[in-house]
Structure 1
């Protein structure tokens, strides 16, 4: 089950990357709007699947950012 979810996550991620590459090309306004809409749909699906697959968050220590700058 986890393998299937990971495969779906990769597919959504790959689709988003493909849409970003397409947006860097010459497109009509209609094509650009369609690709933007599809990319938004893929991002929403990716976010939803991510939240369901990994329903936890890791705490970030309050001074973690400050320490990273000094390293």
Structure 2
């Protein structure tokens, strides 16, 4: 499972790099908006993977318990 997460992180990171590189080129307004939205989605995916990964690590170490409901 760790290899799968690593592959996801690498894929999203490469996409972020590619979109940032594209933004440094001459683009139409439509192209720029599209690439900016894709870049935002890729960064959000990386954050989600990171949050899930850190939450899982903390649970494994006993730092985070199940959510309590009132």
Between the two proteins, the alignment pairs up a number of residues equal to: 56
Q: Does 1:20 align with 2:35?
A: no
Structure 1: any 5+ residue segments left out of the alignment?
57-71
Q: 1:5-16 alignment to 2 at 5 Å? A: 5-16=5-16
Measure the CA separation in 2 of the matches of 1:22 and 1:16: 10
- TM-score, normalised relative to structure 1: 0.75
RMSD: 0.8
- What is aligned with 1:36? 36
Structure 2: any 5+ residue segments left out of the alignment?
59-70
Measure the CA separation in 1 of the matches of 2:47 and 2:54: 10
- TM-score, normalised relative to structure 2: 0.76
